[in-house]
């Protein structure tokens, strides 16, 4: 989910699908304080995050209030508030089972948990009616700002400011860990001074972590958990070296408000060849947004990606789709950042083909060269204006460090399914990211616009040979019917952040 001060940028709101209750572990790792530091001990906190494929997001278990009430919230680098659904909201009171089995508890509709303020002795309202987030598709969350005890990954904050979703249609809350300037209240009040200390800021102020920085390891699409590590990096969760990129300021506010970096190259590579894809929009500003399920690139380059893999843009579902069998294609796309010297992250097709349904079988193509095959959602979609978004379909292949003090992103190729750990804490407030090398001569401004050239599609054969049909027409989007389009609409459920 993406939030911004004055920008209206795109985001996919995870759809309201069938919930499952899952248990999460919480791990805590305390490091011995480094010698010679004048300040408080630098620790790190690890929270296991669970990949909820059905909801299209990563969820962490936290607790709120006194006594503690457990809730599972979506982790979001694209927004900056924590908000919890109120157990008195109609979405939580609604019975989850249609037709309503009577003896259900009052929070049946919110299977990930809801918060009952009446049952917390430490609950204090600090901004009546001040919390408000709305989405173009009509979903929203509104209510009071309050303070209460908040616990995540073993880190306990006694006075955390949060939003209470009293009027909401989203049956679970969020943990937004972005810049404080991107809090909903800053947009509502149109004033930077309305910003409060959000989670990572407060963790630093309370001395739980040395600096406002954290690392995100989403892990494989097929793996059930990843982790967020506050205050440090884990050198065992990536391959090669971490490259340090400067975050790009938001143009309209001239401030660091979201995690924007410049995407400067995309190549397609398979057994049959390699293609350098082009875009008039290079260098492309992209937001690294864990709260967005798919990735969104300019239409000119997205169309080349689709041609490589034989994806079909279906206007019926407003989305690029592929046969599910493409998940076994051996081709990959490599994303380069910050210019020629910058990091390159490869994303395999197994990370780019997502089921369209939460249970049961996917819809099938009704006609055309894929007739009878199961249809899946493709992980790279198109979008018409910047900033563009690299969501979970990209982020799973990368280990990403977010340093909100130096305004830098550390990025390296992920180590999927790593079972070892070597946590290194940031040494002090504003310390440089450990074990990371700055990208030399990096692209930090939109210079001359990119040029467009149709690639020769030498990699296409290698991408699509997994499928019987290889003759996908270039730049001709066949009008293919998809069965169950209504279901697709519901599941894709995209929306844009308003303010």
**Contact 436/410 with Cβ under 8 angstroms?**
yes
Q: Which of residues 417-436 bind ligand NAG (CB under 6 A)?
A: 417
Q: Is 122 in the site for ligand NAG (CB under 6 A)?
A: no
Distance CA 199, CA 287 (A): 20
Residue 246 CA from chain centroid, whole number: 19
Among 132, 159, 341, 487, binds ligand NAG (CB under 6 A): 159
299 binds ligand NAG (CB under 6 A): yes
Cα-based distances in Å from 85 to 47, 59, 72, 133 = 21, 15, 11, 13
Binding positions for ligand NAG, 326-345, rule CB under 6 A: 330, 334
Among 6, 190, 271, 422, binds ligand NAG (CB under 6 A): 271
Least separation in angstroms between residue 281's CB and ligand NAG is 12
- The DSSP secondary structure of 473-492, one letter per residue, reads PTT------BTTHHHHHHHH
- Cβ of residue 226: shortest distance to ligand NAG, in angstroms? 11
Closer to ligand NAG by Cβ: residue 222 or 239: 222
Q: Which residues are catalytic?
A: 76, 289
Cis peptide preceding 387, ω within 30 of 0: yes
Identity of the residue, 417 or 451, whose beta carbon is nearer to ligand NAG in the bound complex: 417
Residue whose structure tokens are 């963790």: 203
Stretch that binds ligand NAG, among 52-60, 81-89, 217-225, 255-263 (CB under 6 A): 217-225
Q: Is 225 in the site for ligand NAG (CB under 6 A)?
A: no
Contact assessment for residue 344 and residue 334, using Cβ atoms and an 8 Å cutoff: yes
Q: Is 314 in the site for ligand NAG (CB under 6 A)?
A: no
Smaller CB separation from ligand NAG, 30 or 222: 222
Which 363-382 positions form the footprint of ligand NAG (CB under 6 A)? Answer: 382
Rounded least distance, CB 429 to ligand NAG, Å? 20
Let me know: does 408 contact 244? Beta carbons within 8 Å: yes
Phi, psi at 184, each rounded to 5°: -60, -35
First to last CA, the chain: 12
Tell me: does residue 131 bind ligand NAG (CB under 6 A).
Answer: no
DSSP state of 255: B
Q: Is 383 in the site for ligand NAG (CB under 6 A)?
A: yes
Q: For residues 201 and 179, what is the distance between their CA atoms, to the nearest angstrom?
A: 9
Comparing every residue's Cβ against ligand NAG, the nearest one is: 222
Q: How far apart are CA 75 and CA 62, in angstroms?
A: 11
Cα(15)–Cα(489) distance, rounded to whole angstroms? 10
When asked if residue 70 is in the footprint of ligand NAG (CB under 6 A), the reply is yes
Minimum distance between the CB of residue 128 and ligand NAG, rounded to whole angstroms?
A: 13
Listed residue (463, 437, 477) closest to 319, CA to CA: 477
Backbone angles phi, psi at 318, to 5 degrees: 60, 40
What is the nearest approach in angstroms of ligand NAG to the Cβ of residue 35? Answer: 32
Binding flag, residue 66, ligand NAG (CB under 6 A) = no
Residue 241 within binding range of ligand NAG, rule CB under 6 A: no
Binding residues vs ligand NAG (CB under 6 A): 63, 70, 126, 147, 159, 161, 196, 220, 222-223, 269-271, 299, 303, 313, 330, 334, 382-384, 416-417, 477
């Amino acid at each position: 989910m993406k939030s911004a001060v004055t920008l209206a940028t795109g985001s996919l709101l995870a759809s309201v699908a069938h919930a499952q209750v899952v248990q999460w572990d919480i791990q805590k790792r305390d490091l011995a304080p480094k010698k010679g530091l004048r300040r408080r001990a630098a620790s790190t906190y690890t929270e296991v995050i669970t990949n909820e494929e059905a909801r299209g997001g990563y969820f962490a278990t936290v607790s709120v209030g006194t006594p503690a009430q457990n809730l599972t919230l979506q982790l979001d680098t694209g927004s900056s508030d924590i908000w919890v659904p109120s157990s008195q909201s109609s979405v939580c009171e609604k019975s989850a089972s249609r037709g309503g089995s009577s003896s259900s508890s009052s929070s049946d509709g919110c299977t990930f948990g809801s918060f009952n303020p009446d049952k917390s002795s430490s609950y204090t309202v600090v901004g009546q009616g001040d919390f408000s987030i709305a989405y173009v598709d009509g979903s929203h969350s509104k209510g009071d700002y309050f303070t209460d005890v908040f616990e995540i990954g073993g880190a306990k904050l006694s006075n955390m400011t949060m939003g209470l979703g009293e009027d909401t249609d989203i049956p679970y809350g969020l943990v937004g860990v972005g810049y404080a300037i991107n809090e909903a209240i800053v947009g509502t009040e149109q004033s930077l001074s309305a910003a409060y200390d959000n989670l990572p800021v407060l963790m630093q102020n309370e001395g739980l972590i040395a600096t406002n920085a954290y690392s995100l390891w989403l892990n494989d699409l097929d793996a059930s958990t990843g982790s967020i590590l506050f205050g440090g990096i884990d050198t065992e969760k990536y391959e090669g070296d971490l490259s340090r990129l400067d975050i790009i300021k938001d143009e309209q506010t001239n401030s660091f408000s979201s995690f924007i970096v410049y995407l400067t190259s995309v190549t397609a590579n398979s057994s049959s060849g390699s293609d350098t894809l082009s875009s008039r929009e290079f260098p492309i500003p992209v937001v690294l947004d864990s709260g967005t399920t798919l990735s969104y690139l300019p239409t000119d380059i997205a169309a080349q990606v689709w041609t490589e893999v034989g994806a079909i843009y279906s206007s019926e579902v407003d989305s690029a789709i592929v046969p599910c069998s493409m998940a076994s294609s051996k081709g990959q796309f490599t994303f380069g950042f910050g210019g020629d010297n910058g990091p390159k992250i490869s994303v395999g097709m197994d990370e780019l083909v997502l089921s369209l349904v939460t249970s049961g079988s996917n819809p099938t193509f009704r006609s055309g060269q894929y007739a009878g095959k199961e249809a899946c959602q493709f992980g790279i979609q198109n979008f018409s204006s910047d900033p563009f978004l690299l969501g979970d379909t990209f982020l799973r292949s990368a280990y990403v460090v977010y340093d909100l003090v130096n305004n830098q992103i550390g990025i390296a190729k992920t180590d999927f399914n790593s079972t070892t750990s070597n946590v290194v804490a940031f040494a002090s407030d504003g310390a440089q990211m450990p074990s990371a090398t700055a990208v030399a001569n990096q692209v930090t401004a939109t210079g001359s616009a990119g040029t467009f050239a149709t690639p020769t599609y030498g990699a296409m054969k290698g991408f699509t040979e997994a499928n019987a049909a290889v003759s996908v027409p270039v730049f001709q989007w066949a009008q293919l019917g998809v069965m169950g389009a209504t279901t697709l609409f519901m599941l894709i459920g995209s929306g844009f952040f308003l303010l």
